[in-house]
Amino acid sequence: MSTIEQLREQIQNIDHDIIRYIALRQDLCKKMGTLIRKEGKQIIDLEQEKKNLEFYESLSNEYSIDPKFVSRLFKLIIINSRV
């Protein structure tokens, strides 16, 4: 059985990974934004965002996580990643 401290450490490690992946995602979004601008396209693609949110909802159901929570979380991530 894990102790509370061990569980806290595991959670902290996961949180570290989440933040690291968000930073990586933002970096990729910046690179994609640069390419999109070079092509003269619109940065914001609402149709793609809709597809992504549907995908996230599917994943949330697969992992038994509240889809509304996942949707709110990713809307924040998407808004924060716009360049």
Number of domains in the chain: 1
CB 61 within 8 A of CB 67: yes
Please give the chain's pLDDT, 83 residues, in tens: 679 999 999 999 999 999 999 999 999 999 999 999 999 999 899 999 999 999 999 999 999 999 999 999 999 999 998 86
Read off the pTM. Answer: 0.83
C-alpha 56/C-alpha 54 separation (Å) is 5
CATH of the domain at 50: 1.20.59.10
Domain of residue 24, residue span: 4-81
